[in-house]
Amino acid sequence: MISLCKLVVVTTAIAIMLTVAPVAADWNAGLELFGQERFAEAVEHFQGVIKSNPNWPGAYLMLGRCQLALKQPDEALHNLRKAVELGPDDPSNVAALSRALIDQGLNTETIELLEGVDLKNLNPAWRVEMERMLASCLLAEYRTDDAVALLESGLAEAPDSAALHRAIAGAYQAVGNRPAAFDHLAQAFTLDPDDHASGRSAVKTALALAGATADDETAESLRMRAVELATALATAAPEYEHLLLAGEADLAARQLGAAADWFVAAVSKRPQEPLARFYLGRTLAALDRNDEAITHLRAGLGCAPDDELEVRIHGQLGRLLACRLELSEAARHYQAAGDAGHAQRINELAADFADALTRLAALRGDSAELAGMEAELEKLGDNNGVTAVAGQREIRDREIAGIEANLTDVRVALCQ
């Protein structure tokens, strides 16, 4: 898209040609006010230019732009149409009118306007801009094949145009060709690393395609491509959303250590976001770091997750706590997750092994307390005290191991 700065440069150049005429004062004042975004004041000066030079398209162009900024679309379209009528060969007139028409949903008129332009004779920047606008209107009018053909032709002339790759990705999404859409989104992000939206869309599309294919090799390739793109995105712009996405990509690719690192970074960015806590807990559980996983999952519940995520967190906690033989709490989480059958089964097991589980919980509490005492004595340099407390803790840990060994079959069944 042609920027305001570029337009001011062009119109300033025009102003130089007008300095010999009385209209120069109005024109130059209008441009200055336009650059300062004082649009209402600029309108008066451009109207003065039109009064003195009623056949000059530039004045209508600038007046229309001011009126667009002032939310006066009807007046703006009238003047932009006049600019095109008087200066049909000036791409700035055509582009300004096209953008205004698109904003008003006037796609049919935009198509007629742009299809009347000889795109091949435009400079590359204008050609890309107008091809993108025309394609967006064709898509809006359900002429998807025409949009794809137009953009493919444009890419043949400008294969390194990130803008065209973005546009054709949207066209391929519209026709349901997600693999082609992914290829062009990835290419757009590669060509323009500041195009974070294309990068995010490319990663999400790759992961979705990997999950949908039955071909293991293709799925693996897509997941690794997602990891590559997500890593580049999160490294260049370490925002919460990008860190989370990089973690999701690594988790999908079973690169659990890397995934955990990204999720830790995401949690650090936004500690109150439950989704990052859930993903981190899930990843730590896969790494057999269950105590840490439970901590983050519990924290996630405290971060007001939506209903769907809350159910998922309860389900994860139910399984992890069941593996630890903390059956009463596990049953509560399964019940909260809507899995009444699992909750009932666990409650029955808890009743069958009530005495052993009560003793196990007491021993774990004692062991944790003794470990704390041991750490404090170590800080004080009391080696004898450390040895005595460590001995007591080891006795309890051996009894814990014995009870857990007796309940091995139960644990194995609950951890499935």
Q: Cα 155 to chain center, whole Å?
A: 26
| Residues 274/313, Cβ–Cβ less than 8 Å | yes
**111: how many CB neighbours lie within 10 A of its CB?**
20
Residue 3's pLDDT is what? Answer: 43
Residue 124 has phi, psi (to 5 degrees) of: -55, -40
| Residues 262/246, Cβ–Cβ less than 8 Å | yes
Global confidence as pTM: 0.71
Q: Is residue 307 part of a domain?
A: no
| Residues 343/334, Cβ–Cβ less than 8 Å | yes
Residue 125's pLDDT is what? Answer: 87
Residue 412's pLDDT is what? Answer: 66
| Residues 187/195, Cβ–Cβ less than 8 Å | no
Q: Is residue 187 part of a domain?
A: no
What is the maximal distance between C-alpha atoms in the chain?
102
Residue 13's pLDDT is what? Answer: 41
> Which single residue is written with the structure tokens 């439950």?
274
**244: how many CB neighbours lie within 10 A of its CB?**
24
Question: Nearest-CA neighbor of 26 among 62, 55, 67?
Answer: 62
Q: Which two three-digit tokens encode residue 16? A: 């130089």
Q: Is residue 80 part of a domain?
A: yes
The pLDDT profile of the chain, 416 residues, written as one tens digit per residue, is 444 344 443 444 444 344 445 568 889 999 999 999 999 999 999 999 999 889 999 999 999 999 999 999 999 999 999 999 999 999 999 999 999 999 999 999 999 999 999 888 888 889 888 998 999 999 888 898 899 899 988 998 889 999 999 999 989 988 889 999 999 999 999 999 999 999 999 999 999 999 999 999 999 999 999 999 999 999 999 999 999 999 999 999 999 999 999 999 999 999 999 999 999 999 999 999 999 999 999 999 999 999 999 999 999 999 999 888 888 899 999 999 999 998 998 888 778 777 777 888 899 899 999 999 999 998 999 999 989 999 999 999 998 888 888 777 667 666 76
> How many domains, the chain?
2
DSSP 8-state assignment for residue 237? S
Q: Is residue 242 part of a domain?
A: no
In angstroms, the CA 204 to CA 248 distance is: 9
Rg (CA), the chain: 33
Q: Is residue 333 part of a domain?
A: no
End residue of a domain, out of 76, 104, 132: 104
N-terminal to C-terminal alpha carbon distance within the chain: 55
Q: Is residue 290 part of a domain?
A: no
Q: Letter for the amino acid at 70?
A: L
Which are the contacts of 279, defined by CB distance < 8 A and separation ≥ 6?
Answer: 244, 247, 248, 251, 259, 263, 266
End residue of a domain, out of 60, 77, 104: 104
| Residues 109/27, Cβ–Cβ less than 8 Å | no
Residue 166's pLDDT is what? Answer: 92
In angstroms, the CA 69 to CA 28 distance is: 19
Residue 22's pLDDT is what? Answer: 56
Q: Is residue 7 part of a domain?
A: yes
End residue of a domain, out of 104, 137, 159: 104
In angstroms, the CA 388 to CA 386 distance is: 6
Which are the contacts of 159, defined by CB distance < 8 A and separation ≥ 6?
Answer: none
Angle, helices 124-140 vs 162-174, to 10°: value is 10
Domain residue limits at 363? 353-416
Q: Is residue 116 part of a domain?
A: no
Domain of 25, CATH number, reads: 1.25.40.10
